[in-house]
A and B are shown apart, each in its own frame.
Chain A
């Protein structure tokens, strides 16, 4: 069981090495002549005005919120699907009921208009 994860663990350690190498090489061979004008924030050629952290719409939060709830519920269904062979009718219905409760939330968000982008 842990041997399965050993490969992923080594991958986890090695995977960032390749892109990091690709960032280190330009450090050595690429020219470096920074000046204040060059490192200005790019905005279609005009000078940038005001603060970077603009005010975002609350809609971004709402969509992520609906996503969070759905994500959590669906992740719980994965063990149910894996054990599907051994489940009796009651267990299957319990899973379907779980999905219907999920649909409830979706219908509410839809009716309420929280899924509209204005």
Chain B
């Protein structure tokens, strides 16, 4: 009795066949039920995430967080949802109504779509489509589109500037992300997420590709637009960025999408590098796999929040420099080294393979740190030089703004 999911699936097969339905129709009905169950479960987790977010940020700031409504304030997010539902929703003057309403739907729907390929347990896999990793990148691109639609349709300068910044950041960080994601694909020889999890049966890929893991995590945080990469919604400059004009549930959808996106990306990173649902006994008791998966995903989610509430916001030039002059070259180096070593180490014992790749990663990390240290020394000298405090503007300000 280790596998209730397969049992339910078989029972449904028997039941529907008993009604005299065609086999093709049974597959469709089962897929429909699966999608409905998965999406509902994910959205419930999403509501729970509101509570996690508020509780954890309170602890980071030495507060208690929501604690009045229900045990530990657990009912609080439902109250939040009801409040958002009965808020008046205001469409700003001059907005492009269709695009304006479509944008928040896209923001949440694209995040939901990612769950179609994430394996929760050995038997609870939405679908192991053979291009899973690129599917994730592609759906992420659709999310970018939702943001640009929101910013443009709001008919607000700040929203448009915020959307432009967001998109510039998201597309920039997609480059090292796509390169870093190539490393687990190379190691597993497959793009299917579940195939990648299956390939990690003897060791997790974080052991052979720790730098790729860190790169994926950093670029994920940037894709999310969370601190320290939250200059896209810098309150002091452009108020809230692309969702400035959204009220009530429309704003709620952006908020829910952002929280769920964080957990989703944590889950993807956990699947690609931390073995996903793998853990002792997960093969024989698939439900344990769900527990392991969410434990790993929530651990990474907590790391993302830890980073968010610890680091200050970076400037836009620093953001772009970090991406193009540090993360992208580093990811290319990691990819080439991994590819070459993998080909050179054909037929060796697994532990030799792991040790050599781990050592190579450590060497790369050490060299990178040395380069960074010397750059930081120069930067400290540059900043310490005496500079004029304030100057009157020499020429009229050019028309190129924003």
Contact = CB atoms under 8 A, between A and B. Distances in A.
Interface string A45-84: 0001000111111101001101100110011011001111
Contacts of A40: 92-93
| Band of interface residues on A | 35 or more
Interface of A is mostly: helix
A67 B175 contact: yes
B89 A16 contact: no
A57 B161 CA distance: 11
A97 B307 CA distance: 37
B100 to A, nearest CB: 11
Contacts of B158: 42-43
A38 B172 CA distance: 37
B251 to A, nearest CB: 11
A74 B175 contact: yes
A14 B39 contact: yes
Contacts of B167: 64
Interface residues of B, number: 89
B109 A36 contact: no
A42 B245 contact: yes
Contacts of A71: 171, 174-175, 178
In terms of DSSP, what is the predominant structure of the interface of chain B? helix
Interface in B137-181: 155-158, 160-161, 164, 167-168, 171-172, 174-175, 178-179
Interface of B: 27-28, 31-32, 34-36, 39, 43, 84-94, 101, 104-110, 112-113, 116-117, 126-131, 133-135, 155-158, 160-161, 164, 167-168, 171-172, 174-175, 178-179, 182, 185-186, 189-191, 239, 244-245, 248-250, 252-253, 316-317, 320-321, 324-325, 328-329, 332, 335-336, 339-340, 342-343, 399-402
Interface of A: 3-8, 10-12, 14-16, 18-20, 22-23, 25-26, 29-34, 36, 38-44, 48, 52-58, 60, 63-64, 66-67, 70-71, 74-75, 77-78, 81-85, 87, 89, 92, 95-96, 99, 102-103, 106, 109-110, 115-117
Given A8-B127, A30-B89, A66-B175, 5 more contacts: A4-B128, A10-B35, A34-B91, A36-B93, A84-B342
Top 7 nearest A-B pairs (CB, nearest first) are A117-B317, A7-B127, A15-B109, A81-B186, A19-B108, A15-B112, A67-B171
